[in-house]
């Protein structure tokens, strides 16, 4: 692991420098809909703002305005350097909301951005701001980080911008049950839309970050729907979410999709859109 930690340190040298105030930028983003209810959507470690394209036809554009943001190092934000921490992504999300003129909004995050969603609602609750009406966390990393043993950590580190290993990882995250072309296409998409340096820095975020004590102490009452996939890895299981989300967040609502693994936006897009919007509808005011 000495080589891994050395490489991680190198990654922070590239993607971990402080950003001068003059270079602070707003995340690139794409909008969908023109409705009065505002929704910000953040993507996973292996995606970008286009990760949710498959569900867009089923989202209500008259009630909701969705903004799909690309994190630093991904998609149209791939050239934005940064610290690639949960605090930075949270600050970027708030900065984007400010630029959009959103006083109150809903937040949706997938996988590592599910961790960001928790950081946002805890900070919002502790400040008494109440800007976030509700949250949706899709197959999220919990506030105590992803539980991985050393071989798993090494595999996840090694797969970064390695096409063959990325295919293996994506197949594992979807229960090894889908056509081979699925992980092949996803691996190509990941490599084409991300910076390896950013992925290495975000790896440390969702593996090593732990603010679970803050979550347990704050107990934010912001309504949060957790959407898990029954075909996902154990670290994203119902048992894990009941021990964490259900314990830390008084208004957590846990839902599970039988025929999805870690990527329900691709595996079961209509049902995922239904679960997202039914939650948003319930917390529109």
**What domains are defined for the chain?**
2-282 (3.40.50.1820)
Cβ-Cβ contacts under 8 Å for 160 (sequence gap 6 or more): 166, 196, 199, 200, 203
Predicted local confidence at residue 11, as pLDDT: 35
Higher pLDDT, 25 or 234: 234
Confidence class for position 76, pLDDT limits 50, 70, 90: very high
Cβ-Cβ contacts under 8 Å for 199 (sequence gap 6 or more): 45, 73, 160, 161
Q: What is the mean pLDDT of residues 141-150?
A: 96
Predicted local confidence at residue 150, as pLDDT: 96
Q: Decide if pLDDT at 3 tops 50.
A: no
Predicted local confidence at residue 285, as pLDDT: 78
Predicted local confidence at residue 41, as pLDDT: 98
Predicted local confidence at residue 24, as pLDDT: 60
Q: Decide if pLDDT at 10 tops 50.
A: no
For 107-134, how does the pLDDT look when each residue is reduced to its tens digit (9 = 90+)? 999 999 999 999 999 999 999 999 999 9
For 161-220, how does the pLDDT look when each residue is reduced to its tens digit (9 = 90+)? 999 999 999 999 999 999 999 999 999 999 999 999 999 999 999 999 999 999 999 999
Q: What is the mean pLDDT of residues 12-27?
A: 47
Predicted local confidence at residue 9, as pLDDT: 34
Cβ-Cβ contacts under 8 Å for 178 (sequence gap 6 or more): 171, 267
The answer to which of 16-20, 196-200, 241-245 has the lowest mean pLDDT is 16-20
Average pLDDT, the chain: 92
Q: Decide if pLDDT at 6 tops 90.
A: no
Neighbours of 87 (CB within 10 A): 14
Strand 37-42 and strand 29-32: pairing?
Answer: unpaired
Confidence class for position 95, pLDDT limits 50, 70, 90: very high
Q: What is the mean pLDDT of residues 263-279?
A: 98
Q: Decide if pLDDT at 4 tops 60.
A: no
Predicted local confidence at residue 17, as pLDDT: 35
């Amino acid at each position: 692991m000495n080589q891994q930690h050395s490489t991680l340190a190198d990654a922070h040298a590239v993607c971990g420098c402080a950003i001068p105030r003059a270079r602070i930028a707003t995340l690139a983003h794409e909008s969908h809909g023109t409705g009065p209810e505002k929704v910000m959507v953040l993507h996973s470690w292996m995606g970008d703002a286009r990760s949710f394209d498959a569900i867009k036809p089923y989202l209500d554009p008259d009630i909701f305005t969705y903004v799909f943001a690309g994190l630093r190092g991904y998609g149209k934000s791939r050239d934005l350097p940064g610290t690639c921490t949960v605090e930075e992504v949270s600050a970027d999300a708030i900065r984007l909301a400010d630029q959009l003129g959103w006083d109150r909004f809903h937040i949706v995050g997938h996988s590592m951005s599910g961790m960001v969603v928790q950081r946002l609602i805890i900070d919002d609750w502790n400040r008494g701001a109440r800007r976030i009406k509700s949250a949706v966390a899709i197959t999220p990393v919990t506030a105590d980080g992803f539980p991985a043993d050393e071989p798993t950590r090494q595999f996840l580190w090694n797969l970064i911008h390695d096409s063959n290993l990325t295919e293996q990882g994506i197949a594992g995250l979807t229960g090894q049950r889908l056509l081979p072309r699925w992980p092949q296409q996803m691996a190509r998409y990941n490599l084409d839309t991300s910076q390896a340096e950013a992925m290495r820095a975000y790896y440390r975020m969702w593996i090593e970050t732990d603010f679970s004590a803050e979550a347990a102490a704050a107990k934010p009452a912001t309504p949060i729907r957790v959407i898990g996939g029954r075909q996902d890895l154990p670290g994203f299981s119902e048992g894990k979410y009941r021990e964490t989300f259900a314990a830390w967040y008084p208004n957590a609502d846990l839902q599970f999709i039988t025929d999805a693994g870690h990527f329900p936006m691709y595996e079961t897009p209509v049902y995922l859109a239904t679960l997202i919007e039914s939650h948003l509808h319930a917390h529109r005011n």
